């Protein structure tokens, strides 16, 4: 059994992973400064499911799953706090989710852009140095994003480096990236810093590139008090989760522009399966392992159609709207992603988007009255090119 620190344990993925690892018998120390709870309220929104306080969550996990979780409130930007944490708990692995993770939030203005870059880069650097100083054998599992690569006209390979030949001279360079928001650039810079730390200090790192996650359910969420947060507004909601809430509220679904933007998706349940496999099968000491964590590739238009079908099968009336694209992105493009590492570890996806969205809508319907209060924050207001909210 492992001892694992999860940075960002109060979040959508962090809480679900806390429950998964604890249920599998690992010792889990969850850390969070509750930043997302407050930043979501800043834009006038809230989690679709009401969230118990961290202490109440820990109590509910004991009651319904019979697991003991330690929760520590703290800011991963604080260098002393991170060093003390690693020194005190001496974990086998640290999962790093504790970042500002909304692309639109990072595009609101210079303050939000700066916050994103400072929070994300500082938290990663604190972790790098704390591990290097205290125990360089600790496995760092860092959550990056598929969005680091953008939408290139070539396959996105699962390799940190690639050989190139420029004017007849060969060399190895970092696999190219072209991000589409300050948030995504912060993840690119994180990756460069982690690659450098791997070379410089020999740290053992799994760098995960994950696509947008969808879903309300995991095997451990057996009671309302164990639910993980679920965001749906234009700033914090990722596309599938947002469309499901739009369907519940009777709002038109909002694919941006032509809706031909393709992304690689994974369900919450399968994301948990993948993360557990990566932790339980760490890389060799000193290895840098880069993993693409997606299951299905769809365009935004295809997702809107699947959500519409699911909602209509439940008796809801749904229209697909026409929304001018507030983002700066290609709306029709090639997209292909190599995924070999997770299957080699035994990853077998249990969910698919078409079936899962129906369950998501069913889970959200009892919260319709709560969601009505947030109807105004679903329509896009953050304009990438203007660099402000309109
Ligand atoms: N949800 C997705 O679809 C998705 C897809 C790809 C990558 N990711 C990445 O996965 C990670 C987790 O995403 P999520 O959806 O669970 O986001 P989330 O916002 O729900 O969770 C992140 C958690 O980290 C905490 N946090 C942020 N800064 C912190 C700090 N300085 N100190 C302590 N805690 C801090 C937040 O309070 C929050 O609880 C993020 O790094 C995100 O970029 C998410």
Closest CA to 356 of 219, 245, 217, 170: 217
Pairing relationship of beta strands 296-299 and 262-267 according to DSSP bridges: antiparallel
Burial category of 9 from C-beta neighbours within 10 Å (exposed 0-12, middle 13-18, buried 19 and up): buried
Pairing relationship of beta strands 204-210 and 288-293 according to DSSP bridges: parallel
The residue to mutate among 16, 54, 98, 142, having the most atoms of ligand 1 within 8 angstroms of its beta carbon, is 98
Q: Which two tokens stand for residue 241?
A: 């989760």
Distance in Å, CA 268 to ligand 1 centroid: 14
pLDDT of amino acid 46? 98
Q: Cα–Cα distances in Å, from 20 out to 17, 208, 233, 272, 375?
A: 5, 18, 27, 7, 32
Nearest residue (CA) to ligand 1, atom 20 = 11
Distance in Å, CA 101 to ligand 1 centroid: 5
**Residue 61 DSSP SS3:** helix
Distance in Å, CA 94 to ligand 1 centroid: 14
Residues labelled as active-site residues: 145, 183, 187
Distance in Å, CA 181 to ligand 1 centroid: 16
pLDDT of amino acid 330? 96
The residue to mutate among 99, 181, 296, having the most atoms of ligand 1 within 8 angstroms of its beta carbon, is 99
Query: What's the total number of domains in the chain?
Result: 1
pLDDT of amino acid 281? 98
The DSSP code for 385 is T
pLDDT of amino acid 214? 98
Nearest residue (CA) to ligand 1, atom 21 = 11
pLDDT of amino acid 322? 86
Helix H, strand E, coil C: the string for 345-382 is CCCCCCCCHHHHHHHHHHHHHHHHHHHHCCHHHCCCCE
H or E element in which residue 142 lies: strand 139-143
- Tell me the residue range of the domain where 344 lies: 3-389
Nearest residue (CA) to ligand 1, atom 40 = 97
Distance in Å, CA 14 to ligand 1 centroid: 7
10-residue averages of pLDDT along the chain (390 residues): 98 98 98 98 97 98 98 98 98 98 98 98 98 98 98 98 98 98 98 98 98 98 98 97 98 96 98 98 98 98 98 97 94 98 98 97 98 95 94
Q: Domain containing 144 — which CATH number? A: 3.40.50.720
Protein residues whose CB sits closer than 6 Å to any atom of ligand 1: 8, 10-14, 32-36, 75-77, 97-99, 101, 119, 123, 143, 145, 210, 212-213, 229, 238
pLDDT of amino acid 196? 98
Cα separation of 37 and 49, whole Å? 12
């Amino acid at each position: 059994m492992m001892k694992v620190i999860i940075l960002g344990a109060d979040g959508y993925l962090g809480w679900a992973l806390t429950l998964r690892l604890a249920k599998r018998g690992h010792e889990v120390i969850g850390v969070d400064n509750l930043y997302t709870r407050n930043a979501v309220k800043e834009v006038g929104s809230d989690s679709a499911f009401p969230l118990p306080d961290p202490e109440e969550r820990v109590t509910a996990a004991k009651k319904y799953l019979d697991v003991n979780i330690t929760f520590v409130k703290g800011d991963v930007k604080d260098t002393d706090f991170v060093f003390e944490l690693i020194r005190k708990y001496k974990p086998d692995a640290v999962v790093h989710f504790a970042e500002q993770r909304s692309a639109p939030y990072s595009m609101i203005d210079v303050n939000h852009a700066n916050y994103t870059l400072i929070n994300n880069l500082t938290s990663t650097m604190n972790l790098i140095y704390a591990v290097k100083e205290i125990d360089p054998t600790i496995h760092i599992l860092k959550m990056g994003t598929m969005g680091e690569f953008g939408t290139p006209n070539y396959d996105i390979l699962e390799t940190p480096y690639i050989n190139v030949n420029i004017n007849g001279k060969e060399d190895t360079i970092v696999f190219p990236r072209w991000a589409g928001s300050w948030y995504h650039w912060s993840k690119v810079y994180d990756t460069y810093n982690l690659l450098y730390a791997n070379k410089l200090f020999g740290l053992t790192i799994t760098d995960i590139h994950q696509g947008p996650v969808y879903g309300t359910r995991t095997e451990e969420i057996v009671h309302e008090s164990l639910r993980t947060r679920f965001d749906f507004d234009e700033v914090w909601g990722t596309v599938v989760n947002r469309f499901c809430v739009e369907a519940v509220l009777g709002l038109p679904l909002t694919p941006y522009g032509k809706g031909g933007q393709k992304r690689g998706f994974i369900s919450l349940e399968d994301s948990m399966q993948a993360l557990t496999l990566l932790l339980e099968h760490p890389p060799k000491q000193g290895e840098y392992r880069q993993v693409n964590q997606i299951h299905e590739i769809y365009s935004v238009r295809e997702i809107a159609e699947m959500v519409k079908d699911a909602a209509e099968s439940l008796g809801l009336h749904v229209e697909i709207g026409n929304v001018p694209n507030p983002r700066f992105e290609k709306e029709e493009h090639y997209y292909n992603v190599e995924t070999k590492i997770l299957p080699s570890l035994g990853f077998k996806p249990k969910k698919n988007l078409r079936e899962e969205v129906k369950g998501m809508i069913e889970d959200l319907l009892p919260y319709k009255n709560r969601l009505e209060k947030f109807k105004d924050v679903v329509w896009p207001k953050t304009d990438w090119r203007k660099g402000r909210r309109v």
